[in-house]
Amino acid sequence: MRRLLIIILVLCVIAPSAFADRERVFTVGVRAYNGVQLSYQRWTPTLKYLDSKQDRYSFNLMPVFGFEQMRKLVENKEIDFVITQPAEAVQLKEKFNANIFLTLINQYEGKALPYFSAVVFTKAENQSISRLEDMKGKTLAAIDPEGFGAYWMGLSEIRDVGLKEFDDFEVVFTGTQDRVVDYVLDGKADAGTVRSGILERMAKSGRVNLKDIRVLHPVHDDLPQLHSTKLYPEWAFSAREGIDPAIVAEIQHILISIPPDHKVLNESRYAGWVKPVSYTSVYELMKRLKVGLYAHKPLIDFKSLPFYFKVLLPLAVVWLLILAYVIYSIYKK
């Protein structure tokens, strides 16, 4: 036991010094769509691989939950790179000049594709829903109002059959995709939508039985997973504005060149990276749904006002109402 403690102490001293001579530590923000633990499990091997393939920089992982939090981190330059879903990536590109320089390739039963889909599903025994049109008067579970693979993609298909969220059906947001599945199977929602592959992963781990699930609007194409929507480009690796293009190019080359049999691919559960594919379909979906870059903006965005305006504006409105009442009273006399 004493020997083990000595080894641990030595490692604690050596580990930080291993990168002490490196020029810079870069922080990589990762969309934590299913919790911090899974984010570390999936993306730590990739960042360690980047550390091992050059000796100038090291990389720290920062799981990020909130969409607003991610925007603030990029805007304030508190993170240097971002690995996230495509809708968030293109919004960071348009709002803060982030540079999308890689697209993820995922492995699907022997097929490697830089595209993915979403699945809309219900409980197999739920006989009240057999088509997307049957969602009228029902409740849909999704991850977040800004979720792409676990909300907007499925929502687009439901909109296409003439139903509108919160008018024709309710939506409940669960925070993670695993909870979306749990909500449906536990009867807390009539249907749910998650990105392709979530159901298969949960079935493989024994958390769900696919026989208990029925897919709505099933699509059959090159993607060998349960899904209900067209294919959209996979997650993006982006650099915030101001990162040296030479560093970005070096990272791009390292990740594109990962050997197909390298253990990092198995540890991270993906097939590799490619130069960015077209994200046009992501723009088109947001425009069609009027979300993200195309969301309706109020005349005055109260949340973005400075604190003193948030106090003074209501007071000004009250004083104007009082003044109007006094003038009206005098005029009436």
Residue 79 has pLDDT above 50, yes or no: yes
| Average model confidence (pLDDT) across the chain | 89
Domains 17-111+234-289 and 115-216 share a fold: yes
Residue 17 has pLDDT above 70, yes or no: no
Using only C-alpha atoms, the chain has a radius of gyration, in whole angstroms, of 24
Rounded CA-CA distance 298/77 in Å is 27
Which amino acid makes up residue 82?
V
Which structure tokens are listed for 81? 């790179």
Rounded CA-CA distance 87/293 in Å is 9
pLDDT (0 to 100) of residue 13: 41
The domain spans of the chain are 17-111+234-289, 115-216
Residue found by looking up tokens 């049957």 in the block: 134
Rounded CA-CA distance 198/226 in Å is 9
Confidence of residue 144 (pLDDT cuts 50, 70, 90): very high
Where are the extended beta strands (E) located within the chain? Answer: 24-31, 57-64, 81-84, 99-108, 111-113, 115-116, 118-123, 139-142, 170-173, 191-195, 213-216, 232-233, 236-239, 272-274
3-state secondary structure of 233: strand
**Percentage of the chain exceeding pLDDT 70:** 87
Q: What is the pLDDT of residues 182-228, one digit of tens each?
A: 999 999 999 999 999 999 999 999 999 999 999 999 999 989 999 99
Residue 297 has pLDDT above 90, yes or no: no
Fold of 115-216: D-Maltodextrin-Binding Protein; domain 2 (3.40.190)
Q: What is the pLDDT of residues 116-139, one digit of tens each?
A: 999 999 999 999 999 999 999 999
Pick the closest to residue 130 from 217, 197, 18, 230 (CA basis): 217
Rounded CA-CA distance 154/163 in Å is 12
Q: What is the pLDDT of residues 262-272, one digit of tens each?
A: 999 999 999 99
Which structure tokens are listed for 193? 């939508």
φ/ψ (deg, to 5) at 124: -55, -35
* Better-scored residue on pLDDT, 316 or 237: 237
pLDDT (0 to 100) of residue 163: 97
Q: Which residues pair with 238 in a beta bridge?
A: 82, 100
Residue 14 has pLDDT above 50, yes or no: no
Helix 280-289 crosses helix 153-160 at what angle (to 10 degrees)? 50
Average pLDDT, stretch 29-44? 91
Residue found by looking up tokens 């807390």 in the block: 188
Confidence of residue 35 (pLDDT cuts 50, 70, 90): confident
What is the residue-wise DSSP string for 262-311?
A: -HHHHHHT--EEES----HHHHHHHHHHT-GGG----SS-GGGS-HHHHH
pLDDT (0 to 100) of residue 323: 75
Rounded CA-CA distance 182/174 in Å is 9
Rounded CA-CA distance 41/31 in Å is 13
Q: What is the pLDDT of residues 151-181, one digit of tens each?
A: 999 999 999 999 999 999 999 999 999 999 9
Q: CATH number for the 17-111+234-289 domain, one of 3.40.190.10, 3.30.160.270, 3.90.1300.10, 1.10.8.870?
A: 3.40.190.10
Pick the closest to residue 140 from 98, 80, 183, 91 (CA basis): 183
